[in-house]
Structure 1
Amino acid sequence: MHILGVALPERHFVKHALTHFYGIGNATAARLCARVQVHDRCRVRNLNETQVTALTAFLASPSNSPTVPALPLAAPDFAPPRLGAKFTPPQVQPPPDMLREIKLETDLRRQVRDNIAHQRMIGSYVGRRHAMQLPVRGQNTKSNAKTAKKLNRVERWA
């Protein structure tokens, strides 16, 4: 099955298949499945058309998706009965929706590329390591053969 140009394996659980999208990990995939009401153990081949449509619509534009209700299990005007006292339910703020800010595929790749270009432009240590195609996050370069080959390269003119 293809969703937005990404091939999802038919035999995988939906939660694991969604990690094929660039920018979606395990935790985000679990939240996304809960958001579009897909069971944990549902496989991609068992999705019905409404679930596929909901998933595609959300991934196409997460910022335009409908908001999650603050109290999904009770009506907002629900109040437990009190004897003799007038009870006003507290105002509940909905938790911030992390999935509305998600960036996927091309947008995320562009953002990462721009961040690296910014690091190179300002001349930071990280930017210089990126420019030389060396490890950026403190990995060992002494004993790794591929990195040592880059470091000890000799320019030879034929």
Structure 2
Amino acid sequence: MPRILSVDIPGKKRLEYALTYIYGLGLTTSREVIAKAGLDPAKKADDLTDEEITKLTAVVRADYTIEGDLRREIGQNIRRLISINSYRGSRHRRGLPVRGQRTKTNARTRKGARRTVGAVRGKDARSAAKVAAPAAKK
């Protein structure tokens, strides 16, 4: 398992797929990185030499935002949207879909599990209901 940019890359996979384990690199981007570094995309990640790993690292560092920096940047963008009171920021704040999806039905992933809304009664009402329940059965 080679380590590229503090991420363990699966050694048994082809290089173009192994690089997608780095947050911020998808398949298309990993192919671009491999082409810029002048490597064979079909090569297994375990077969990389230290020199090839150095080439890959240099290309990625020069041209792409990845891992922690990318996560931080995305978080800052969301915080900025919230702070300027934009519509998208308010959707993020409430935990609702941001990109115009319907919420009357669906949107469960964003909203979370359903919260059951029931009648809240005081102690007196509950005890009266318990007394009334056996009488209703007769």
Unpaired segments ≥5 residues, structure 2: 121-138
Moved over 6 A (4+): none
Aligned to 2:19: 18
Distance (Å, rounded) in 2 between the aligned partners of 1:29 and 1:41: 12
After TM superposition, give the deviation of residue 44 of structure 1 in Å.
Answer: 0.3
What is the alpha-carbon root mean square deviation over aligned residues? 2.3
After TM superposition, give the deviation of residue 40 of structure 1 in Å.
Answer: 2.0
What secondary structure does 2:13 align onto? coil
TM-score (norm. length: structure 1): 0.64
Distance change in 2, residues 1:31/1:148 (3 Å): closer
TM-score (norm. length: structure 2): 0.72
Distance (Å, rounded) in 2 between the aligned partners of 1:24 and 1:143: 30
After TM superposition, give the deviation of residue 104 of structure 1 in Å.
Answer: 1.1
Matched, 1:107 2:69: yes
Identity value in percent? 33
After TM superposition, give the deviation of residue 148 of structure 1 in Å.
Answer: 6.8
Higher helix share: 2
Aligned length in residues: 116
Alpha-carbon displacement from aligned partner over 1:70-109 (angstroms, at most 9, x marks no partner) = xxxxxxxxxxxxxxxxxxxxxxxxxxxxxx3x21112111
Distance (Å, rounded) in 2 between the aligned partners of 1:38 and 1:128: 45
Distance change in 2, residues 1:119/1:27 (3 Å): same
Matched, 1:116 2:78: yes
Alpha-carbon displacement from aligned partner over 1:92-135 (angstroms, at most 9, x marks no partner) = xxxxxxxx3x2111211111111101110111111011011112
Unpaired segments ≥5 residues, structure 1: 63-99
